[in-house]
């Protein structure tokens, strides 16, 4: 029976670095370290040298995700997103729908947690959806490189089961 089983893929190095292979073009990650202080924990969310000054946030939103819930797929034509999970365990799916991209049609899915903080850079044209993997409320910070336009949002959505996008979870 063991001969017919699939061997698990390597997901972490001996130094503890997470392996995220075969990524969508432009999707970037910066693993951040929690700093234990005398009175709690400090976690930086963004620095210009991490992913480049072009990722500078112009609009920042704190959002929660109820237990075991998932978001719609959503995408932007112009703005780029930075995402940072600050509470709970959230699986995030990314789908490249950009015709000119070398990874058009690729799906990436990764779990994220406040325990191992990660800044995620999502280029425009890449769909993304989030799922809370726990029964408790989770939370994340979204930082956009352009301010939200209330009259004409650069926010396009499709439901989780939409047949035009892959099943994310």
At 53, the pLDDT band (50, 70, 90 cuts) reads confident
pLDDT score of 111 more than 90: yes
Per the DSSP assignment, residues forming a β-bridge with 70 are 131
Q: What is the DSSP string of 51-112?
A: H-GGG--SEEEEEEE-TT-BPPEEE-SS--EEEEEEESEEEEEEEE--TTSTTTT-EEEEEE
Report the share of the chain in percent with pLDDT over 90: 91
pLDDT score of 3 more than 90: no
pLDDT score of 148 more than 90: yes
Q: Which domains does the chain have, with CATH numbers?
A: 21-158 (2.60.120.10)
pTM: 0.92
pLDDT given for residue 2 in this prediction: 82
pLDDT given for residue 79 in this prediction: 96
Q: What is the pLDDT of residues 153-167, one digit of tens each?
A: 999 999 988 999 999
Distance CA(93)–CA(89), nearest Å, equals: 13
Mean pLDDT, the chain, integer? 95
pLDDT given for residue 1 in this prediction: 80
Sign of CA dihedral 47, 136, 168, 9: positive
pLDDT given for residue 44 in this prediction: 96
pLDDT score of 138 more than 90: yes
Report the share of the chain in percent with pLDDT over 70: 100
What mean pLDDT is predicted for residues 132-151? 96
Q: Which residues of 32-63 are buried (b: 16+ CB within 10 A; e: fewer)?
A: beeeeeeeeeeeeebeeebbeeebebeeeeee
Q: What is the pLDDT of residues 54-87, one digit of tens each?
A: 899 999 999 999 999 999 999 999 999 999 999 9
Per the DSSP assignment, residues forming a β-bridge with 167 are none
CA-to-CA dists, residue 85 to 13, 47, 52, 166, angstroms: 22, 16, 20, 23
């Amino acid at each position: 029976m063991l001969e017919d089983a699939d061997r698990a893929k390597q997901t972490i190095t001996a130094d503890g670095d997470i392996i995220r292979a075969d990524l969508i073009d432009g999707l970037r990650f910066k693993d951040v370290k929690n700093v234990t202080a005398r009175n709690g924990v400090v976690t930086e969310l963004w620095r210009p040298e991490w992913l480049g000054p072009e990722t500078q946030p112009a609009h920042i939103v704190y959002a929660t995700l109820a237990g075991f819930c998932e978001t719609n797929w959503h995408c932007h034509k112009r703005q780029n997103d930075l995402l940072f999970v600050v509470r709970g365990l959230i699986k995030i799916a990314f789908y490249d729908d950009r015709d000119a991209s070398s990874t058009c049609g690729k799906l990436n899915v990764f779990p994220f947690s406040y325990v191992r903080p990660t800044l995620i850079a999502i280029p425009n044209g890449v769909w993304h959806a989030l799922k809370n993997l726990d029964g408790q409320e989770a939370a994340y910070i979204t930082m956009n490189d352009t301010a939200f336009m209330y009259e004409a949002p650069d926010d396009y959505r499709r439901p989780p089961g939409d047949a035009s996008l892959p099943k994310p979870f």
